[in-house]
Amino acid sequence: MLIRNRRLRSSEAIRSLVRETSLSPNDFIVPLFVVEGKDVKEEIASMPNYFRYSLDLLEKEVKELWNSGLKAVLVFVKVPEKLKDNEGTEALNANGLMQRAVKTIKNAVPEMLVMTDVALDPYSSYGHDGIVENGEILNDATTKVLAKMALSHVKAGADFVAPSDMMDGRILVIRELLEKNNYDKAGIMSYSAKYASAFYGPFRDALDSAPGFGDKKTYQMDPANREEAIKETLMDIEEGADIVMVKPGLCYLDIVRDIRNAVDVPVAVYQVSGEYAMIKAAAEKGWLDHDAVMLEQLTAIKRAGAQMIASYFAKDAVKLL
């Protein structure tokens, strides 16, 4: 035998020398859930050890993130029921929770990259990502609101907006409105290949944003489709997306690699709430080694082609890196 592959695996020193993929704090975007109130830090039932923060505690949290080497956050808000309507009117409130959250973060840590979720579902009385008419989700009426929402986030100080709705043409409509208002520096991270996944369940608990009727299959992608993900992503890039995203992570790593090979903009992956909940639950039962499985999955996501990962494990992971 001339070739023995085990020679390159024989010690940690040689293994680390030939390792092709490694994780660093630079890889992560930290999702943050924000609520109204004072001194609130509520654990999300289906997301153990993950919390919703009121603005006063958010400040402390982002300082901690920054000090641990995490430099980007993706903000979501839990909107009080009484402020929800079909058009997502509250989303445009210059003094709304999202807008205040952005300012709070930027005040606490000016260098922190602030990304905001742009979609109507947390604001929608129907829990859908678009305006509803006769049981249908309207496309073009929705993108107009999304663009105004994005502009409002950027005015509050967001560096990037992250449209997660999957309406057609929304990247162009958002980009044009930002340019028209001279916010040419604001970036767009598009959820380009976002699947109609059952893995979003815990997130919808976190924000109380589950669809009131039906499902999201008329706008989010069919998990059975692969070619379509490339088409969606290339369109978003043509419309002005700076970063494209695949979501969820683990079940869609083939898509991540396809897209990484097909595009020349950075590719992000969202390891979603259900992926987090699965590991936490199995670890609680003692059936899986939490840290080992977490790092294995994050490494696999990066190996598949993700240049950045939005993950609820970001804090846990950097402690081990």
Q: Return residues touching ligand PBG (CB under 6 A).
A: 117, 119, 121, 129, 164-165, 200, 203-204, 216, 272-273
Which residue number, 14 or 45, has a Cβ lying nearer to ligand PBG? 45
Active site residue 180: no
CB of 230 to ligand PBG, least distance (A): 21
The residue behind tokens 């595009």 is 263
Catalytic hit among 194, 280, 302, 315: 194
**Smallest distance from ligand PBG to CB 227, Å:** 22
By C-beta, is 170 or 302 nearer to ligand PBG? 170
Which tokens is 60 given?
A: 């402390």
In the complex with ligand PBG, the residue whose CB is nearer, 189 or 259, is 189
Alpha carbon distance 38, 68 (integer Å): 25
Instruction: State how far the Cα of 221 lies from the Cα of 255, in Å rounded to an integer.
Output: 12
Q: Which two tokens stand for residue 258?
A: 């396809």
Pick 165 or 232: Cβ nearer ligand PBG = 165
Whether 198 contacts 274, CB under 8 Å: yes
The whole-angstrom distance between residue 245's C-alpha and the CA centroid of its chain comes to 8
Amino acid, res. 37: G
CB of 87 to ligand PBG, least distance (A): 16
What element of type H or E holds 217? Answer: none
Known active-site residue 194: yes
DSSP codes joined into one string, 211-261: -SSS-STTTSBPTT-SHHHHHHHHHHHHTT-SEEEEESSGGGHHHHHHHHH
Could you give the CA distance from residue 256 to residue 251 in angstroms, rounded to a whole number?
10
Closest separation in Å from C-beta 31 to ligand PBG: 7
Whether 232 has a binding-site annotation, put simply, is yes
* Residues making up the binding site for Mg(2+): 232
Residues recognised as catalytic: 194, 247
